[in-house]
Every structure is written in C-alpha cells, then in structure tokens.
C-alpha cells in the first residue's frame, strides 16, 4: 500500500486549537482515500504557546502523528525543510496548519501524481480575507522575484504542494543551508503540474508572516536565485564610462575651438572614476557569484532516469 506523508509547520497556533482542527480535517480526507496509508509530520517551530501540548495529545491518540519540535523559532522554510527529512511515504504533501489551503484538494493532487506528475503545486486563483496590503505586497513580490530570478518560479504559488518521494530525496540531498523552497522545487525540475484553487481565510489566529518576515523571504529568494543586481551595477558602470567618453570628447572639441574646457574635463574625470569603480565592483561581484554558487553546492544537473 502506498503511503502519503503530510508536513504541517506550526508556529503559535494554539488559538482555536488550530493543529487539532487541521488534524481532524486532514484525517477525514485521508480516510476518504482508502488505498493509502498516511503519516502526519507536525513541525513545531518553537511556539511559545500551547501548540506543542496539543501536538503531543494528538501523537498520543494516533500513532501516525509524528511531531518534530524546534528549540526556538527558526522560520517556516526551516520547519518545512526539517519535515522533508522525516518523510517516509511515497509522496509528501506540504500544507499550512491554518487550513488556508484546502486539504480537500489532496485527493485531486494524488490523482494527478498517480497520472505521472512528480510535483503538483497549488496555484492561488484568489485569496480570501487577506488585507489589500498583503495582496499588493504578495503580488509585487512574485512579479519582482520572477523578473529577478534566473529560474522560472511559478507565480502565485506557495508551499502547498504534493511532491513525489524521489524529488523529496533530491531536495534533501541539496547541501545548501538557507533553502528557498519554492525556488528550489522549480530549479529541480521534474514533471510539474499546477492545480488552481481558491485560498481561504484563516479560520483562527493571525498571520505569522509580518512584513519583516516577508522581506526576509523575498531577499532569500532573490539572493539565492538571482545575479541580476550585480549585472545592474555593471550596466551603471558602463553608462558612467560612456558619459566620461562623451565629456572627454567635449573637452577635446573645446580645446580645438578655444572654448571653456574646465567643466567638460571635471565631468569627464568624475564619470570616469565613478564608472571604473562601478565596473570593478561588477568584476568582483562576478567572482563572488561564482564563489557563492560553489558554496551553495547545488549539483550541476539533476538526473531523473538512466536507461541501460
Ligand atoms: N509558520 C512557521 N514558522 C514561522 C511562521 C509560520 O512554522 O515562523 C507556519 C504557520 O504556523 C502556518 C504556516 O507556517 O502553518 C504559514 O504561516 P501563516 O499562516 O502565518 O502565513 P500566511 O498564510 O499568512 O502567509
Ligand atoms: Mg496562513
């Protein structure tokens, strides 16, 4: 019998006994799929409230509930990364505890997985009950990330997805420490399929992704998937050097026609120094990018199958 592992990160979710409600809803879905075993991997990301207590109660009641508890808050991406290492099923599903992503979609995901897709990711068609500010920043974030990033990260997708075990194993084998999962799933490749859904409102509690954490996530995404900022520095350097050249020509012409030369020369010198500086930073940046790429230790390629 195939087994499905569900990873549920939880941080300060005791209000409204969120993990228990999530457990009941997930259990109902799992029971509706008769041909599969299941395990729930709850990751307590250093909650300061009674979340861990609730999780312990669940684990006592149900042997299929596994709990991993952090010593302090390490962040959602770390919680999911830790959960991925515990997966024993043939596929895993990553879902938030607040049930904003409907678990009732899991059977559909499993069906698409059984049809041969390795990753089935949820794509938000709409988002209920999120502030205009969150919607605006989220939209800006996804567009900006997509523009900046060197791999194609699908828009309006979060971490809600089903992933085949072989892809989970590849993800676990990546040595980089601060993993921006959404980007890495895209980077890993494999047969990916999107599934559109409407994102619900939180049924209790409040978001743990304030602006500060969102900015951190955004910068992780950009730093680990983009070399565009360095290219931008190079471009500015070149523009300065062009200005320097034009003003230098102005100086020469002024000398020939006997006009004022001082201003032309000053502008030319300043642009030249600025331009050279920027260009030097660009060169250094390129070395740093290469060092960073090596340090991330991502393999050069990912093999899916080998025949004969
Ligand atoms: N979460 C976590 N660690 C954190 C912040 C959030 O494990 O530092 C969990 C949280 O319990 C929830 C999921 O990650 O299950 C998504 O968080 P949240 O609902 O607050 O984010 P939003 O849906 O508002 O983006
Ligand atoms: Mg949420």
What tens digit of pLDDT does each residue of 95-108 get? 999 998 999 999 99
Query: 87 and 200 share a domain?
Result: yes
Q: Please list, in sequence order, all residues whose beta carbon lies within 8 angstroms of the beta carbon of residue 199, skipping any fewer than 6 positions away.
A: 100, 101, 124, 125, 126, 127, 128, 130
Would you say the CB of residue 65 lies under 6 angstroms from ligand 1?
A: no
Would you say the CB of residue 208 lies under 6 angstroms from ligand 1?
A: yes
Which residue, 226, 248, 272, sits at the end of a domain? 226
Would you say the CB of residue 11 lies under 6 angstroms from ligand 1?
A: yes
Distance CA 204, CA 18 (A): 7
CATH number at residue 97: 3.90.550.10
Evaluate whether residue 301 is within a structural domain: no
Q: Longest Cα pair distance anywhere in the chain, in angstroms?
A: 94
Would you say the CB of residue 159 lies under 6 angstroms from ligand 1?
A: no
Query: 69 and 101 share a domain?
Result: yes
For residue 55, the CA-to-ligand 2 centroid distance in Å is 18
Evaluate whether residue 64 is within a structural domain: yes
Give me the pLDDT at residue 110, please: 95
Distance CA 289, CA 292 (A): 5
Would you say the CB of residue 76 lies under 6 angstroms from ligand 1?
A: yes
Query: 292 and 144 share a domain?
Result: no
Would you say the CB of residue 217 lies under 6 angstroms from ligand 1?
A: no
**Does residue 191 or residue 131 have the better pLDDT?**
191
Mean pLDDT of 13-30: 90
Query: 141 and 275 share a domain?
Result: no
Query: 191 and 290 share a domain?
Result: no
**Does residue 104 or residue 293 have the better pLDDT?**
104
The structural domain count of the chain equals 2
Give me the pLDDT at residue 9, please: 96
Give me the pLDDT at residue 144, please: 81
Residue 164 has pLDDT above 90, yes or no: yes
Residue 138 has pLDDT above 80, yes or no: no
Mean pLDDT of 31-39: 91
pLDDT class of 44 with cuts at 50, 70, 90? very high
Query: 248 and 274 share a domain?
Result: yes
Q: Which residue has the tokens 């930073």?
A: 281
Ligand 1 pocket check: which of 76, 81, 220 to mutate, most ligand atoms within 8 Å of Cβ?
76
Evaluate whether residue 307 is within a structural domain: no
Give me the pLDDT at residue 201, please: 81
Residue 224 has pLDDT above 90, yes or no: no
Would you say the CB of residue 83 lies under 6 angstroms from ligand 1?
A: no
For residue 308, the CA-to-ligand 2 centroid distance in Å is 46
Evaluate whether residue 6 is within a structural domain: yes
Highest-scoring range by mean pLDDT, 145-159, 256-270, 272-286? 272-286
CB count in 10 Å sphere of residue 148:
17
Determine which residue's CA is closest to atom 24 belonging to ligand 1: 207
Query: 169 and 77 share a domain?
Result: yes
For residue 21, the CA-to-ligand 2 centroid distance in Å is 14
Residue 135 has pLDDT above 80, yes or no: no
Which H or E run contains 5? strand 2-10
Q: Which residue has the tokens 């020509």?
A: 249
Determine which residue's CA is closest to atom 17 belonging to ligand 1: 208
**Does residue 119 or residue 199 have the better pLDDT?**
119
Mean pLDDT of 136-141: 78
User: CA-based angle 39:41:45, to the nearest 5?
Assistant: 170
Evaluate whether residue 305 is within a structural domain: no
Query: 121 and 174 share a domain?
Result: yes
pLDDT in tens, 63-96: 999 999 999 999 899 999 999 999 999 999 999 9
Residue 118 has pLDDT above 80, yes or no: yes
Would you say the CB of residue 142 lies under 6 angstroms from ligand 1?
A: no
Give me the pLDDT at residue 285, please: 93
Q: Which residue has the tokens 């992933």?
A: 163
Query: 150 and 219 share a domain?
Result: yes
Q: Which residue has the tokens 């729930």?
A: 40
Which residue, 226, 253, 286, sits at the end of a domain? 226
Count Cβ atoms within 10 A of the Cβ of residue 7 and give its class: 0-12 exposed, 13-18 middle, 19 or more buried: buried
For the chain, give the mean pLDDT.
Answer: 89
- Interhelix angle 18-32/51-61, rounded to 10 degrees, is 30
Evaluate whether residue 67 is within a structural domain: yes
Q: Which residue has the tokens 């515990």?
A: 86
Q: With contact defined as beta carbons under 8 Å apart, do 86 and 66 qualify?
A: yes
Evaluate whether residue 103 is within a structural domain: yes
Would you say the CB of residue 96 lies under 6 angstroms from ligand 1?
A: yes
Which residue, 226, 243, 274, sits at the end of a domain? 226
Query: 18 and 137 share a domain?
Result: yes
Mean pLDDT of 144-173: 88
Q: With contact defined as beta carbons under 8 Å apart, do 204 and 158 qualify?
A: no
Query: 172 and 236 share a domain?
Result: no
Question: Which token pair is 218?
Answer: 């955004």
For residue 95, the CA-to-ligand 1 centroid distance in Å is 10
For residue 253, the CA-to-ligand 2 centroid distance in Å is 65
Q: Which domain holds residue 248?
A: 228-296
Which H or E run contains 98? none
For residue 152, the CA-to-ligand 2 centroid distance in Å is 24
**Does residue 307 or residue 119 have the better pLDDT?**
119
Q: Which atom of ligand 1 sits closest to the CA of residue 13?
A: 11
pLDDT in tens, 234-261: 999 999 999 999 989 988 888 888 888 8
Give me the pLDDT at residue 56, please: 92
Q: Which atom of ligand 1 sits closest to the CA of residue 80?
A: 7
Evaluate whether residue 134 is within a structural domain: yes
Query: 232 and 287 share a domain?
Result: yes
Distance CA 258, CA 211 (A): 59
């Amino acid at each position: 019998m195939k087994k499905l592992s569900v990873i549920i990160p939880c941080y300060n979710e005791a209000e409204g006994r969120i993990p228990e409600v999530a457990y009941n809803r997930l259990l109902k879905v799992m029971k509706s799929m008769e041909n599969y075993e299941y395990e729930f991997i709850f990751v307590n990301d250093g909650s300061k409230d009674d979340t861990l207590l609730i999780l312990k109660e669940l684990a006592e009641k149900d042997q299929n509930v596994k709990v991993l508890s952090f010593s302090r808050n390490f962040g959602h991406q770390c919680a999911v990364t830790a959960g991925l290492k515990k997966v024993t099923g043939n596929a895993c599903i990553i879902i938030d505890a607040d049930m904003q992503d409907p678990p009732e979609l899991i059977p559909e995901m499993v069906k698409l997985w059984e049809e041969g897709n390795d990753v089935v990711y949820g794509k938000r068609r709409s988002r209920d009950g999120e502030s205009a500010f969150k919607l605006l920043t989220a939209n800006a974030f996804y567009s900006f990330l997509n523009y900046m990033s060197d791999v194609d990260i699908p828009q309006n997708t979060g971490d809600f997805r089903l992933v085949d075990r072989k892809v989970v194993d590849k993800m676990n084998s990546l040595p980089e420490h601060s993993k921006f999962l959404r980007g890495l799933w895209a980077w890993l490749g494999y047969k990916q399929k999107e599934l559109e859904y409407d994102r619900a409102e939180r049924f209790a509690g409040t978001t743990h992704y304030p602006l500060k954490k969102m900015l951190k996530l955004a910068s992780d995404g950009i730093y680990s998937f983009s070399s565009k900022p360095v290219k931008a520095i190079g471009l500015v350097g070149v523009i300065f050097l062009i200005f320097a050249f034009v003003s230098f020509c102005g100086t020469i012409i002024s000398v020939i026609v006997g006009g004022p030369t001082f201003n032309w020369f000053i502008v030319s010198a300043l642009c030249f120094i600025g331009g050279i500086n920027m260009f030097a930073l660009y060169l250094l940046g390129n070395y740093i990018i290469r060092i960073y790429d090596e340090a991330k230790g991502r393999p050069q390629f990912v093999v899916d199958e080998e025949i004969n």
